Structure formats: structure tokens, C-alpha cells
Amino acid sequence: MKLKKQVTVCGAAIFCVAVFSLYLMLDRVQHDPARHQSGGNFPRSQISVLQNRIEQLEQLLEENHDIISHIKDSVLELTAHAEGQPALPHHAHNGSWLLPPESRPSFLSVSPQDCQFALGGKGQSPDVQMLAVYSLLPFDNQDGGVWKQGFDITYEPNEWDAEPLQVFVVPHSHNDPGWIKTFDKYYYDQTQHILNSMVLKLQEDPRRRFIWSEISFFAKWWDNISAQKRAVVRRLVGNGQLEMVTGGWVMTDEANSHYFAMIDQLIEGHQWLEKNIGVTPRSGWAVDPFGYSSTMPYLLKRSNLTGMLIQRVHYSIKKHFAATQNLEFMWRQTWDTDSSTDIFCHMMPFYSYDIPHTCGPDPKVCCQFDFKRLPGGRINCPWKVPPRAITDANVAERAQLLLDQYRKKSKLYRSKVLLVPLGDDFRYDKPQEWDAQFLNYQRIFDFLNSQPNLHVQAQFGTLSDYFDALYKRVGIVPGMKPPGFPVLSGDFFSYADREDHYWTGYFTSRPFYKSLDRVLETHLRGAEILFSLALAHARRAGADGTYPLSDYTLLSNARRNLGLFQHHDAIAGTAKEVVAVDYGVRLLQSLTNLKRVIINAAHYLVLGDKDTYHHDPAAPFLSTDETRPSQDSLPERTVVKVDVSPRFLVVFNPLEQERLSVVQVLVNSPHVRVLSEEGQPLPAQLSAHWGSDTETVPDVYQVSVLARLPALGLRVLQLHKSSEGRAAPQSSVRLYLPGLNLPMRRQEPVPVHVLPAGTEDICLENQHLRACFSGRSGLLQSIRRAGDEREHRVSSEFLIYGTRASKDKSGAYLFLPDGEAKPYAPSELPVVRVTEGPLFSEVTSYYQHVQTVVRLYNVPGVEGLSLDVSCLVDIRDQINTELALRFSTDINSEDTFFTDLNGFQIQPRRYRRKLPLQGNFYPMPTMAYIQDTQSRLTLHTAQALGVTSLGSGQLEVILDRRLMQDDNRGLGQGLKDNKRTRNRFRILLERRTTASQPHFFSTLASMFKALGFPGTRTGSPEAQDERPISFPSLLSHITSMHLNSDALVMPVAQEEPSPPVLRSFVPLSTTLPCDFHILNLRTLQAEDESLPSAEAALILHRKGFDCSLEAKNLGFNCTTSQGKLALGSLFQGLELGSLQPTSLTLMYPLGTASNSTNIHMDPMEIATFRIRLG
């Protein structure tokens, strides 16, 4: 042991010397007098010398980084099994709790090259940057005539003489998997009839075409049709008459969905298509999501699609793009320097995707060519001019009228190839409509094509027919950039379809289900990974005969239910109440089933003797620590009965990094202590379990234990009933009651001091942070980081938005407030409860409509570096009310803030006074932040909500919305089915080191920037905010993962006299670089779709991160490796039998499978590998 300690100290000393010497070298280069000559204007020769020095220094840095990595690995190896338990807490002289220093060292070792990525590359800037477009446009909504939101379009008749107009009319039917009706009711009432008619009607004429996108519906229909009909479908797809577009399980919402779920539903759809029809989608079709994220083009590109279409974009942007012929562009990611993420995108120019708004600028004319609206039908044209059936007598006049619209529309695009969608919601559900549309249009096409003087070729087509013709016309292969077409980067939020009607309400609508979605997602990822590992270990041991393979069906159903909920009327919260309930039932059913999958896998993996494994579905070995009685109830935690014999807990860490976390369990006795698997006592804290603001639940206590959890692993803990002297330390509680004159003290197993409402601030403190709260309101006022000279104002307040008095009011989609928010003013002061203990302290405030808990963990590492915030919201007694939480700080953020897109990337935003208040709200699936040169404040969220920054230093989030009326977008209902909803956040305050004392890598980075070093952009830290790109820090990424991936506690169910020996399960043999995320390890389907195959999809994401934020005391070993990862030795006790890189959704192999298991990934990239573990 002495030798180990000596080597540890020696290794650490070498590490420090190496870093310090490098820092001195860097410091000398940075303070070279030559650098400051003539105000920084270098002679060319000195620049050359400096660049040579930098290159040498860079090489030296890399060599030293490798040396340091080797030293670090040696030290880690020596310390990994030495004194691994967290030390027990004790009281300090001032009465506060102290945790002794960590017994194990932790490293932060980041390669300098890995820091350069966030500074930006030397690639060309895009032609169109959406942040700049927003700055440019007046958003003035002028009347454009027949094209109300556009302008008058003119043309010369001879413009197509040299190059004729080629028109593709694309029949489609938009099928929502749930909106006004449930998924099943839509299927039985309409969708099955659409698809049955499609099979018959496409066979009648080989010139007919149709496209389909929602695989959820298609798969249900497929299960109910004959083998003969299936063969016809395969033939129609094969000959190009039927195209499957996008191919996802649904047409996903792009504001609230998390990228895990977006990818998962895309894989589910693509795998279904490959297995059943043998087709790979080529083009993306998204006519109905309410705004567009730049994450989607990335996912489609990495799935090998070459083109995509979007529709619901702000009308002012459409008008601007139409006027500049920028409606078709290559969509590029903001971080991309070499165009590898480019995908061709077509934006539809007009108001809607229905037929009146797709043939050209005049809906009065276009409606006359929607032949479902022929007189005598159930729907007509609002413009009072009905369609007329096409006959020999009128075809010339009708064709000329339609051609005029086609020509005008084509003037908005750069090519002479024109796309004209022909469809609407649930269209073509009757054979008569197929006949009316296809026969009348074919007569028009035949006439147009027979008139050479018109210089037009018109036909039915699929989406890919259109893209192929365009590529051919401009002379490129699919996927390449057409000459002269612009490159665009950015996103298309937030969406307004007319006037000031911004679709920003749905970023928060039905937050209960948005939260449940994220819980299900975390469980699905955890279940996928544990199932894959358990199955691989069972097969390796020859025990797969006893393992419950039927769990694979539960996994498959959960994938599909999570996928279904990504639909743009599901997670968006914009469906009828009965439909929301249907989604909720599906989500809860899958959540329950996934807990079963996790329990079964964990049972097998923790058994010391695998031969004793026996699966009994009626009596599971492990139980869950919480249950949900119904789809609309919050989880209820299980109480573990503690007895003389130990009760065992199995704790699952779904993160790919080891974590030091506080694990919480409810027990029936205050006399409890927690031991490790080996019998060592662990730090713990006993608290009362509160049933209301002033009442505790009798005979129920919360025990919180600090445990080190292995990456993706299972940790075994023991609960023991103990004598009083050896029990877990108790929390102390102060209860501040408004209107109470005298302090009182209640004696309970956990003592509670009752006091009158306080006027003095309440402060909580750990070794990293000090947070202070108002004594009267219990709300956060300030945060001070350890080492900072001053406190940061970070005050929170609740606000209320009403809705307008005019006829247009807020609803499920729209946010139309009645002006600025007003302070939330409850009739009485809150009850404030302060809990303090060795592992955490918290302040709880009970208001009439919201209960907040702000907790500070007194633990080393990630958990203790941010504030944990929970808001339990209940506004069911309110009318037309939206409850907001606003943080006001002294950060000088001016008009800039940052929100994430799908948890995948960060998009800078600007508060713009020229937009109405509601136009400045944006989606926040996982985080938003504000910053200045010194600090960054990040609000991490565990559920998607709407966010804004309406003033410098502010962040504001909408917690829930209750609205009594429809907002005239087709739903026909308000939002009146609110639930008690718990919104969870983390507040992270970080020091930006570029501002004051840069740490080592920031110094290097800023020196590169100041010298204009190749591969970097020049500029000051302030200028960095001007760039359309930003990244979270490594700490921020990991904080988000902690918040969204809670450790799962599973008590051993049987209280047997002699329970089997349990061993913690540590699946990874090496520490993963901390910028790598295992997005999924998804066992693939066998030929029998209810069974698992021997292959799995390993999906990895390498995160981009910003080094300019100080990274200290992370509490785990954080290293980066310039994107290199050895997969062959990653999984302990398993061999990697094969490794095949593939496209994102496994449809295309990328290169040949090699014997090497070493991979490399660039920052921000997501990569999929088909692997075989055993």
C-alpha cells in the first residue's frame, strides 16, 4: 500500500511539473516582446518565425500530452482499487457539514487540438446565415396582393423557349398518427382506405405516382394485408410509382424532440422498410412540423438521404427567400468547415401545403384545380370559384390558367424544374377522389405536353423524381451542390403563419407529457444497453436459453411508442384531450415494460453465480423504486422495509462515465445505515418524508447515500437496521410559517424547528458554491462560486402571462399574450422549509400554484457544482394563465442568448424589438444560457419548454399553460387538461477563463486566435459571441446528462433467509473519453422480428465543447483523445466479434469491415457501427 501511495504521489508530481513547464514555455511565447511591436502589426518574417514556434510548441504539447496520459493511466491503475469509497462526513466547528477530500484522484486532461474545434474553422462562411437574415428583415407584413404574404410575380412568355419548364405534380396524403382522432381511429376510419385505394389506383395507369412518409401507419396496414397485396406494393415501389419519403416512424416534431428519439424513430422506420420492402429512402418530406431544426438535415444527411423538403417557415422569411431565389439551398451545419454535412433543401413558398397554396401564388386559381372540391362534394373553395371537370371543350383554357400559376411559381426558383405537391390531410381516402384528381390532371398534362409552343412538360412524379430531374438539369449527381445555389446555415424557429401569430406556445403545451417523454427515453436507452450487455454475457456463458428473450418484444414496442410520441402533434401537446390520454397510456405501458427489461438484465448481471439464474415473471428478483398508478399521475416512490437481515439495492448508472451521486431511497425506519457491497459504511443522510408543507408522512424516511457508480454499470448496496448511535446522520429542518409569532420545536425522529416567517436571507453552502435565498419568499437571490470575490445576482421570480381580449387568443399552438408578464402575486406568503445535512441542503417554498425545491449537494464533483431545481406546478384552477419562471442576473448578456436544438447543438439567439414578445421565444429541449466576458449561466432542463431572454441578464422559461379556447388552427379545443407537473432544472454558473486568468488550454487557444493562426478565426472573446456557433463546456454537457439520466434504484424483492451472492457489474474496461457519448447500444432484430439477432447497433456521438470555461473539481477522470477510441477492448469480459461502420440508420455499410477496432470521430459527429459482441 505504501508503494502504491509513493507511486501515486510521484506520478502526480511528474504530471504537475510537465504541465507547469509547458505553461512557462507558452507564457514566454505569449509575452515575446516581438508580439507587441507596432501595436501588434507583425513584419511578415516575425509572423513566420512565430508560426514556426507555434508549430513546434504544438508538437511538443502533443508529445507531452501523450506522456501525461501515460502517467495518468499508471496512476489510475494504481489507485483504481485503493480506498475507493467516499469518506464519511463530519461536523465542522461552525456547525456545517464537511466531507473529507476525495480518496481517489481525478484528472482533467484535454488535448489542445480538442479545444481548437470550438474556436471555429477556416472553412468558407455560408451565403445565407439565418441570424443575419433575422437582422436584415423588417418583418412588416405588407399586403402582397393575390399572394397576400408575398408580392406580384410577372414573367415574359418567351422565358422558357430555350429551356422548357418541367413540372412534377406530386400526389400525397398527410396522415397524422394522432391529432383530432387517436392513431388507431385514424387508421380504421381513413388511413387503411387510403392505402388500399393506392394499391388499386396506381396499378390502373403506370404514369401515376404517390408518396408516403409515416411508417407507423404503413406498418400497421402491412400487418393486415395479404401476401399478394404486399407483392404489389413492392412492385409499385420498385418501378418508382410509390416512394417512401423520409421513412421515419413519424414526421417528427423538431422543436421539442430530443435527438436520441429523433434518431430512434428514424432507425425504426428505416429498419422496417429494409426488412419488409427492401427500400432505402432518398428524400426527406416534412410539410407539417411547426418550424425546423438544423439537427434534422444533419440526421438525414448521415442516413444517406440527398434531398429534403420543408414548408412551415415564417412568412417573412419565405417572402425574402422567394425574392432572392433562395428557396432551394444546401443546408450546412454551423460547425462544418468542409461541406460534409450539406444536404439539398427545397422550401415551399406559400402559406400551406394544401392544394390551394401549392400550384402557384393565387389560391383562388389553385383551388379550382383541387378536384375533390368539385360541386356536389362535401368541401368547396372558400374563394367562391369551384373547380370544373376537365373536358375536351375546356381543357385549353383550364390548362392555360394552371400553366400561368406554374410559371409564376417557377420564377421563385433558380431552375426550370418545378415541384407542385397535390394533397392535404388524409386525402385520397375514397376511390372517387383518386379518379377525380388523376383523370382530370392527366387530361391537362396530355394537352400541355401536346403543345410545343407552350414549352412545358408536365407529369405526375414523386419527390425524388423532382430532385433527380433538377440534378440532371443542372448537371450534377445527387448530393452534390448545384452550381449557383446558396449555402445556408441556421434554423427556422420561431414560426409565424400570419400576422403576429407565432407558434411558440407549443414549446411548453402539456409539459406533463413532455416530461414523461424524456423519462421514457432515458429508460429506453438504459434498457437497450443493459439488455444488449446481458444478452451478450449470457450467450458467451451459453446461458441464453434461460434468459428471457421475450423482453426483446417489450423493447421493440417501447421504441415504437416513443417514436409515435415524437409526432408533431404528440410531443408538441397539440392533440385532442382523448388523443393525449391515448399517448399517455402508451408511454406509461412502455415505461412499465422497460423497467421489467432493466430488472431482468440487472438480475442476471449482478449474480455472483450465473448458473443460479432463474427468470420468474410472476416474482421478479428485483423491484422498482417507484410506480405510476395511472398515465397522468406523478411517480410514487416505493418504501423499502428495513429489517435485521440486510436489504440489498442494485443501482444502475445509465451514463458512460463513472459518477459520484447521491442515491435516494424511502425506508420505514430512521435507524438505518448503508454499506457497500464489501460491508464498508457509506456517507448517508436521513431526512423526513414530507406529505405536505407542514406534515411529514409517518413511519417513512428518506435515506440519501453517496455512492460511486460504475459507468453503464450496476452497484450493489446494503441497507441495515442499526442501533441509534450507528445510524445515518439526520438532517436538521427549519420550518418558517407565515403569521406565527413564537418559535416552536417539534420532537420527531427527524427534529423540526418551527419558526415565524423570516426576513433574513437563507444561505446554503458547499465547497464549490454558496447560494442565498430570500427569507420571505424562499426564492433564489444570489450565487457565489468558491474563489470568486463577489456574489452573482441570480434572482428568481414567478410571472403570469394572460391572453388577449381580442378574438385571436392563445391556444395549444399560439402564444398571444396580453402584454408583458405580471408578477405572480399569491394571496399569502409561502411556507418555507430549510433542510440541512451532510450530503445535501435545500430550500423548499410552498406557493398556491407552485412548490419549488432548490437543492445544493455537498459532494465532490459534478453534482456539487450546480443547483438542483424542482418546480411542482398545479394551475388547474386558473383561467387563461401561463406561469413563467424568470432568472435575473448581473451578467451583461445584452440581447444575446443561446438555446439548444434537440439536445444536439447550440443555436445563438437575439432578442429583437422589431418582433412581438411572443416572437422572441424559442424551444429549449435541454438547455439555454446567457454569458458575458466573465461568466456563463446555464439553465439545464429535464423536459422541453419554451424559453426567452427579454432583457440583458435574463432567462425566462414557461412552466405550464392553461387556456380556455381554441386558437383556430384546427384542433377545436383549448388546453384544459393540465396535470400536477414536476419540472426539473439545474442552474450552472461557470467562470469564462478567457476574461481573466486563462487556464492552460484557453491561453493556448487565445494565442492561436490573436495570431490569426491557420484554422482559427481571429477576434476577441466578445467577438466570439458574434459568431453563429457556440458550445457548452464539458462540465455543462455532463451536468445535462446527470439531470436527464437519473441513477435507477432497484431493491432486491425477495427477503430470503440466504439471498444469492451479488456482485457489482462494471461493463467498461477503460474510461471513455469524456467528449464521447454512447447514444445507444441497440440489439438488432432477427429474421423473426420478435427475437433479437446476434448483432447490435453501437451509436456514438462525439460532443463539441468550449474550453474557455473553467473546468475544476469534476470529480471523475475526464480525458479527451482527439477523437480516437479503441472499441476492441472497451467491454470487459466480451469480445468484439465484428465492427462495420454504417450510415446512421444502418441502411448502408460505409467502407469494408476491417480487422481494426480503433475508430476516429470528428467533434459533433454521430457514427453508427454494426457490431457483434460475445
- In 10 A of CB 1015, how many CB atoms? 14
* Burial per residue of 407-429, b for 16 or more beta-carbon CB atoms within 10 angstroms, e otherwise: bbbbebbbbbbbbbbbbbbbbbb
Q: What are phi and psi of 1155, to 5 degrees?
A: -75, -20
- Transcribe 89-143 into DSSP letters: PEE-TTS-EEPPPPSS---EE--HHHHHGGG--SSPPPSEEHHHHHHH-------
Residue 762: Cβ within 10 Å count = 19
CB atoms closer than 10 angstroms to residue 773: 24
Q: Whats the size of the chain, residue-wise?
A: 1174
Q: CB of 939 within 8 A of CB of 886?
A: no
Walk across the sheet containing 696-709 and list its strands.
639-640, 659-667, 696-709, 684-690
C-alpha cell, 47: 509572423
Which three three-digit cell numbers place residue 228?
399478394
Q: Which of 652, 625, 647 is nearest to 714 (CA)?
A: 652
What would the grid cell of residue 282 be?
Answer: 432518398
- Residues annotated as catalytic (active site), given as ranges: 288
Query: What is the SS3 assignment for 1166?
Result: strand
- Please state, as a whole number, how many other Cβ atoms lie within 10 Å of the Cβ of residue 726: 11
682 with 58: CB under 8 angstroms? no
How many whole angstroms separate alpha carbon 391 and alpha carbon 394? 5
Interacting residues of 156 by C-beta distance below 8 A, sequence separation 6+: none
Which strand (E) or helix (H) includes residue 1136? strand 1136-1142
Helix (H) or strand (E) holding 940: strand 935-941
Q: In whole angstroms, what is the distance from residue 1130 CA to residue 1136 CA?
A: 9
Q: Which residues contact 1057 (CB under 8 A, 6 or more apart)?
A: 645
Residue by residue, DSSP assigns 326-378 as -SEEEE--TT-SSSTT-EEEEE--SS-SSGGGTSSS-HHHHGGG-GGGSTTSS
DSSP state of 211: E
187 secondary structure, DSSP code: I
- Could you tell me which of 754, 749, 748, 775 has the C-alpha nearest to residue 764? 775
Closest of 419, 440, 311 to residue 372, by C-alpha = 440
Handedness of CA 609, 614, 617, 621 (dihedral sign): negative
Contacts of 1066 (CB under 8 A, 6+ apart): 710, 711, 713, 1132
| Alpha-carbon torsion, ordered 148, 154, 160, 166, to 10 deg | 0
Q: DSSP H helical segments within 628-751, as ranges?
A: none
Q: Cα–Cα distance between 922 and 1146 in angstroms, integer?
A: 32
Strands 684-690 and 1118-1119 turn out to be unpaired
DSSP 1144: T
Exposed, middle or buried by CB within 10 Å (0-12, 13-18, 19+), for 171? Answer: buried
Q: Cell digits for 413? A: 426558383
CA 278/CA 275 separation, integer angstroms: 6
Cα(193)–Cα(200) distance, integer angstroms: 11
